[in-house]
Structure 1
């Protein structure tokens, strides 16, 4: 049987999205791990940027009052 768009109901694409036990496929958890790693790297980059800006501000204040 097909839906209104002519796509077979319970197509392989739809059923392949989940493992037999209903869990998400391994590929999804790999993507989640990659996202977590990218978020961690982004936090490190933001912290480094804040540190550099703070050092630059202190340096500017020192120069300004010297």
Structure 2
């Protein structure tokens, strides 16, 4: 498989050559991608917070306390 390697300046030059409607489409795609990444990060944070109570019950017990002192 061939992998194209471009730096940001090269990409920007290519984008400038796009017709206006393609620039608008690219902008929408990038905005959606950024929004999806934010949502993924928020979900990760929520799931982490939700799991804290379960982990606390598992790890905070008298048997486990011996390992805390090591």
TM-score (normalizing by structure 1): 0.56
- Tell me what 1:40 maps to: 34
Moved over 6 A (4+): none
Higher helix proportion: 2
Higher gyration radius (CA): 1
TM-score (normalizing by structure 2): 0.54
Deviations 1:3-58 (A, max 9, x none): xxxxxxxxxxxxxxxxxxxx431000000000000000000000001001110110
The whole-number CA distance in structure 2 between the counterparts of 1:65 and 1:25 is 58
RMSD over aligned Cα, in angstroms? 1.7
Structure 2 unmatched ranges of 5 or more = 1-16, 61-70
- Corresponding residue pairs, total: 44
Structure 1 unmatched ranges of 5 or more = 1-22
Is 2:55 aligned against 1:55? no
Is 2:12 aligned against 1:26? no
Secondary structure at the aligned position of 1:24 is classed as coil
